Amino acid sequence: MKTILVTGGAGFIGSHTCLCLTEKNYQLIVVDSNINSTNKSLEKIKYMNPNSKIIFAKGDIRDLSFMRKVFNNARENKSPIEAVIHFAGLKSVGESIANPLMYWDSNVCGSINLLKIMCEFKCHTIIFSSSATIYGNTKTNPITENEPINPTNPYGFTKAAIETILKGIFGSSESSWRIANLRYFNPIGAHKSGLIGEDPLGEPNNIFPILCKVVQGKHKELRIFGNDWPTFDGTGVRDYIHVMDLAEAHISSLEFLIENKPQYLELNIGTGIGTSVLELVKTFESVNKCKIPYVFCNRRIGDVANAVADNKKIISLLNWVPKRNIKDMCKDGWKWQSLNPKGFN
Ligand code: NAD
Ligand code: UD1
């Protein structure tokens, strides 16, 4: 049974990935500071899969001695950490503009720390949560992995910087690294049971949790940021991906890295299908039999018209295809929100 360290594993994408990993019989060590999560998500995973083996270590990846202890304990328990899936980080674009140093410290210093400890314990396999935000305003759509890296906000710069660090490590004298940068497009939805889902601690900025709040009556209406974009209906187009498809992409990437020679991968993770804000609203309404009041507002600073993944590379390389469509995302995401209006609490 292989042991995998999952940083940020109590969070939205991390918890869904942990569930998939336990179903594949991996033993997990989850490190999370709970700055944007609660470990109730991990308790739910144990309930959903009673055979799961998860050790939770509460702490910050920037704490070197804590991280050393985590690796050391695993080694002493004869289950050394084989690979790391690295979700831990801050992810709000607006907050990163307001407080860039906090983002450089948490995301970049945190990742450097983690990599130092991985070097110390000769653990050379890592999957990193990157983001489509690193492409910035692209000339082409769908976006391939060869698109220039051109972030437009501090959050995006931290993700691009971590990718650069990982590339440097791969090119260094230590030739045994296995690295995958997974560039997520727009993850939404939840596990179909409605037992785990997205539960951000602060005010959400992303459309899906906001849309759910409107349906719950917590917001009067959805503010649609612009109806004058150069898209077919004037609203922003995104590549929404079901969080379970994203979780499964981590399993496929992990298995691929472990089974193959050392390598460095950059992979887009999306469905390749664009959905406009209005289409998302209409699909949500028809699948969940509800009404979403909305108003058109000015464009949001930093937004782009269109961001859709070219996902040919991951599909041809890995044993993975996205299986769930936008209706599944709306149905499963709303099931979680409606069954748990207060999240995990
Ligand atoms: P999330 O906030 O739900 O999960 C991140 C987890 O990391 C949280 O549980 C948080 O408590 C933990 N964490 C943060 N800083 C930490 C630190 N210094 N030490 C230990 N734990 C720490 O976010 P998510 O949506 O699950 O995103 C996971 C990763 O994917 C993030 O790195 C994010 O930047 C990236 N990503 C997310 C999206 C998205 O839309 N959700 C898109 C692209 C990339
Ligand atoms: C945002 C971030 C991006 C990050 C991604 C995932 C910005 C500028 N970009 O991207 O860096 O990687 O989240 O965390 O913040 N929308 C509305 N009304 C709302 C909210 C959103 O109309 O209240 C629209 C947006 O204009 C966009 C679409 O919905 O067209 C999706 O927005 P969002 O969920 O925030 O994702 P991104 O803009 O892709």
- DSSP string covering 106-141, please? IIIIHHHHHHHHHHHTT--EEEEEEEGGGG-S-SSS
What was the pLDDT predicted at 202? 82
Is 36's C-beta closer than 6 angstroms to any atom of ligand 1?
yes
Backbone angles phi, psi at 221, to 5 degrees: -155, 160
Q: Assess contact for 31 and 57: CB atoms under 8 A.
A: yes
Angle at 172 between CA 168 and CA 177, to 5 degrees: 85
- What does the pLDDT average to over 92-120? 96
Is 40's C-beta closer than 6 angstroms to any atom of ligand 1?
no
Q: How far is the CA of 87 from the centre of ligand 2 (A)?
A: 19
Measure the CA–CA gap between 110 and 169, rounded to whole angstroms.
16
Find where tokens 């089974």 sit: 259
Q: Which ligand is nearest to the CA of 199?
A: 1
The first and second tokens of residue 36, run together, are 């944007």
Instruction: Walk across the sheet containing 306-307 and list its strands.
Output: 275-276, 237-238, 306-307
Is 271's C-beta closer than 6 angstroms to any atom of ligand 1?
no
Q: Which ligand is nearest to the CA of 58?
A: 1
Backbone angles phi, psi at 34, to 5 degrees: 60, 25
Length of the chain: 345
- What does the pLDDT average to over 164-168? 97
Residue ranges covered by each domain of the chain: 3-193+240-270+310-318
Measure the CA–CA gap between 101 and 87, rounded to whole angstroms.
19
- What does the pLDDT average to over 11-18? 98
Ligand 2 atom nearest residue 307's Cα: 39
The predicted-structure confidence for 303-321, as pLDDT tens digits, reads as follows 999 999 999 999 999 989 9
Place 302 in a pLDDT band, splitting at 50, 70 and 90: confident
**C-alpha Rg value of the chain to the nearest Å:** 19
Place 71 in a pLDDT band, splitting at 50, 70 and 90: very high
Fold of 3-193+240-270+310-318: Rossmann fold (3.40.50)
DSSP assigned state of 104: I
Lowest average pLDDT, out of 9-13, 92-96, 202-206, 253-257, goes to 202-206
Measure the CA–CA gap between 302 and 196, rounded to whole angstroms.
30
pLDDT averaged over every residue in the chain: 96
Q: How far is the CA of 229 from the centre of ligand 1 (A)?
A: 29
Ligand 2, CB cutoff 6 Å, lining residues: 91, 93, 131, 133, 155-156, 186, 205-207, 210, 223-225, 236, 238, 277, 300, 302-303, 307
Report which protein residue has its CA nearest ligand 2's atom 17: 224
Backbone angles phi, psi at 74, to 5 degrees: -60, -40
Q: How far is the CA of 184 from the centre of ligand 2 (A)?
A: 13
pTM of the model: 0.98
Q: How far is the CA of 229 from the centre of ligand 2 (A)?
A: 14
Place 74 in a pLDDT band, splitting at 50, 70 and 90: very high
What was the pLDDT predicted at 345? 85
What was the pLDDT predicted at 174? 64
Measure the CA–CA gap between 280 and 67, rounded to whole angstroms.
41
- What does the pLDDT average to over 132-156? 95
Catalytic positions are: 155
Is 189's C-beta closer than 6 angstroms to any atom of ligand 1?
no
Q: What is the per-residue DSSP string for 285-324?
A: HHHHT----EEEEPPPTT--SEE-B--HHHHHHSS-----
The span from the first CA to the last CA of the chain, in angstroms, equals 33
Among 12, 300, 308, 330, residue to substitute to test ligand 2 (most atoms within 8 Å of Cβ)? 300
- What does the pLDDT average to over 124-148? 96
Q: Assess contact for 53 and 28: CB atoms under 8 A.
A: yes
Q: Assess contact for 211 and 292: CB atoms under 8 A.
A: yes
The predicted-structure confidence for 191-223, as pLDDT tens digits, reads as follows 999 999 999 888 888 999 999 999 999 999 999
Find where tokens 């992979």 sit: 267
Find where tokens 């309930």 sit: 47
Q: Which ligand is nearest to the CA of 67?
A: 1
